[in-house]
Structure 1
């Protein structure tokens, strides 16, 4: 993935979906002054980044975390929930400083520490952001989906030659992780970004 892999381009999300997510987040009250955590999960190319961008616009006082910056490479999907929980979600829940090491895709190594400020809302977007150990920290779990060929086309349009050879490799990890975790079943909100949305 390139350094600008999570720059939002064509918006595949619908404004009314973002409104529902933002309203759910605003309606969530924590027992203390910890942030309300919203996570947008689902397979690659489904429109997670597009929806997260709209949600962030609506929430205002928000910090955003892109799991593309956390995955340790093309074979690292399964390790992302533990990394997210340990570096970001657990510290925020304890009102401690949070931050993650950004994975530099071109060099294949971790780079600088990216702090995650404690805002009223924290929006996490990315595959496996609501899986397993990360789930208990997430107040609003969102699942975004689209038909396989649509998602693949979007991925190729966004990341081009780099994504193409890795599509099936990544998709196999998604299928295994999401099936074992039953991730979709744990979502509070489910949206489609193709056909009947």
Structure 2
């Protein structure tokens, strides 16, 4: 499958909300950006902009459910609070109208409760050594001292919520390209 095909399917079905999850460095952001470019009028919410610091994965999981996705599912605007990594403090609040197309990407997006409020869930899977290489290349020395700390939260999240099992599609990133596997029809 190509991202343009996915965008057409979403548009044809009237979908409004897509969740893209996977571990750090797996390719979630790249996939979300590609989908955003071809799925007209979509808004991308990056969980990297929400986590309240290096220990904030669990908080972000709850925040996007209660503040962003649940209100949208009831026809109201969803909201999310940003995080300023430079000052290590809460940042601006943002609004996503219920009628807007939304892509939520980041570790913590795809729980059973969140998937029930979305039209599509995607899990992006990449080999661990490649994920680490990508993440450290992207974020450099700022991330290196936190890699293990963050990875432990990812493991806890995956054990608690089983995000891969919630996915409609598993996208496996390989050196030759992406492999799309449909989990639910």
TM exceeding 0.5: yes
Counterpart position of 2:173: 193
Residue 71 of structure 2: aligned partner: 91
Map of 1:101 onto structure 2? 81
1:86 positional shift: 1.6
Taking structure 1 as the reference length, what is the TM-score of the superposition?
0.83
Tell me, yes or no, if structure 1 residue 68 matches structure 2 residue 48: yes
Asked if 1 retains the 8 angstrom alpha-carbon contact of 2:21 and 2:122, the reply is yes
Distance 2:21 2:5 in 1: 15
8 Å contact 2:112–2:166 — kept in the other structure?
no
Normalising to structure 2: TM-score of the pair? 0.88
Alignment partner of 2:60: what SS?
Answer: helix
In structure 2, stretches of 5+ residues that fail to align are 179-185
Count of residues in correspondence between the two structures: 177
Spell out, residue by residue over 1:144-178, the C-alpha distance to the aligned partner (whole angstroms, 9 max, x if none): 01001100010111101111111111111111111
Judging changes above 3 Å, is the alpha-carbon distance between structure 1 residues 26 and 170 closer, same or farther for their aligned structure 2 residues? Answer: same
Answer 1 or 2: which has greater strand percent.
2
Contact preservation (8 Å) 2:47, 2:104: yes
Query: 8 Å contact 1:63–1:117 — kept in the other structure?
Result: no
Going from structure 1 to structure 2, the CA distance change for 1:72 and 1:123 (only over 3 Å counts) comes to same
Quote the Cα distance in structure 1 between the aligned partners of 2:23 and 2:5: 20
CA distance in 2, matches of 1:46, 1:105: 21
Given that 1:88 and 1:116 are in contact with CA atoms closer than 8 Å, whether structure 2 keeps it comes out as yes
Query: Equivalent residue for 2:11?
Result: 26
Name the structure 1 match of 2:107.
Answer: 127
Taking the aligned partners of 2:152 and 2:90, their CA distance within structure 1 comes to: 24
| Residues 101 and 112 in structure 1, CA contact (< 8 A), matched pair in contact too | yes
Distance 2:2 2:47 in 1: 21
Equivalence map 1:1-197=2 (5 Å):
16-29=1-14, 36-195=16-175, 197=178
